[in-house]
């Protein structure tokens, strides 16, 4: 069995190791999120797909590390730790919300620096990064704690009983705030005639979530783009029936991409 290197153990959770998998699905969490939920996806996929869930500093086993200061730091760490694995066999990315922007930034970096590209990019609940709709996110400064809590309750990704606990609540607010700051340091200028990626992109969204500018992801790749709206709000992906749809669809896309 291949052992994870210490850098890998730190940055990636892989709860269901599948050394013989044909492809790896690298999952990127939402703002304030950890690896727990997406790492569990490993048990839902067939043996042909191994799931990695990315862990950013400042949470879980990296609780004592300082939070990342900007997107470049986040991207460089993830790319350097994963590089050997990504060169070894085909990989796909899945990101939800904040995680979609990280996954895209990492994909961009890998393409520019190493000529590597995911076979498929799965984007969830996120505007295209060059879209006008993305700009308000970059202007969110000095958000009050109460506003963050209200936002988290509205989104529904954080169990409300956790938010009752003072220490947990403080840490959740801090993590969310720090992730937001990372997001504000990310900018992607879409140059005319320059299409950065060539992989297919699938965009998922909750039907009751705010409208995301999904169409504009079309400008990012010369590959095909498809869009699916699933019942639910921002955290539609936590619903078991939607999860099953996601697994089946992601599997089909990966298996159809001529590994």
For residue 123, count other CB atoms closer than 10 A to its CB.
Answer: 28
User: Is 6 labeled as catalytic in the residue annotation?
Assistant: no
Q: What SS3 class is residue 174?
A: helix
Catalytic residue among 37, 120, 127, 234: 234
Contact 173, 58 (CB under 8 A): no
Catalytic residue among 37, 96, 97, 212: 97
List, in order, residues 6 or more apart from 215 with CB less than 8 Å away. 128, 227
- Euclidean distance between CA atoms 241 and 6, whole angstroms: 36
For residue 250, count other CB atoms closer than 10 A to its CB.
Answer: 22
User: Is 234 labeled as catalytic in the residue annotation?
Assistant: yes
- Give a three-class secondary structure readout of 49-100: EEEEEECCCCCHHHCCCCCCCCHHHHHHHHHHHHHHHHHHCCEEEEEECHHH
- Euclidean distance between CA atoms 134 and 129, whole angstroms: 6
- Euclidean distance between CA atoms 165 and 157, whole angstroms: 16
- Residues with a known catalytic role: 97, 234
């Amino acid at each position: 069995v291949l052992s994870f290197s210490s850098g890998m153990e730190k940055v990636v959770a892989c709860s269901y190791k599948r050394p013989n998998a044909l492809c790896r699905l690298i999952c990127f969490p939402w703002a304030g999120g950890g690896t727990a939920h997406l790492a569990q996806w490993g048990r839902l996929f067939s043996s042909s797909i191994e799931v990695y869930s990315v862990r950013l500093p400042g949470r879980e086993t990296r609780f004592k590390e300082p939070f990342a200061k900007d997107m470049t730091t986040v991207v460089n760490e993830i790319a350097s730790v994963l590089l050997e694995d990504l060169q070894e066999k085909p990989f796909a990315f899945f990101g939800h919300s904040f995680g979609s922007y990280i996954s895209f930034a990492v994909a961009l970096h890998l393409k520019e620096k190493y000529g590597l590209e995911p076979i498929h990019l799965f984007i969830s609940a996120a505007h295209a990064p060059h879209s006008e709709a993305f700009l308000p996110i970059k202007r969110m400064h000095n958000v009050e704690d109460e506003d963050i809590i209200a936002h988290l309750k509205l989104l529904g990704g954080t169990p409300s009983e956790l938010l009752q606990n003072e220490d947990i609540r403080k840490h959740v607010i801090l993590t969310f705030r720090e992730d937001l700051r990372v997001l504000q340091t990310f900018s992607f200028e879409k140059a005319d005639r320059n299409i950065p990626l060539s992989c297919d992109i699938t965009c998922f969204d909750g039907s009751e979530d705010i409208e995301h500018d999904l169409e504009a992801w079309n400008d990012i790749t010369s590959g095909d783009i498809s869009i699916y709206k699933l019942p639910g709000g921002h955290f539609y992906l936590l619903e078991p029936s939607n999860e099953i749809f996601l697994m089946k669809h992601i599997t089909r896309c990966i298996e159809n991409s001529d590994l």
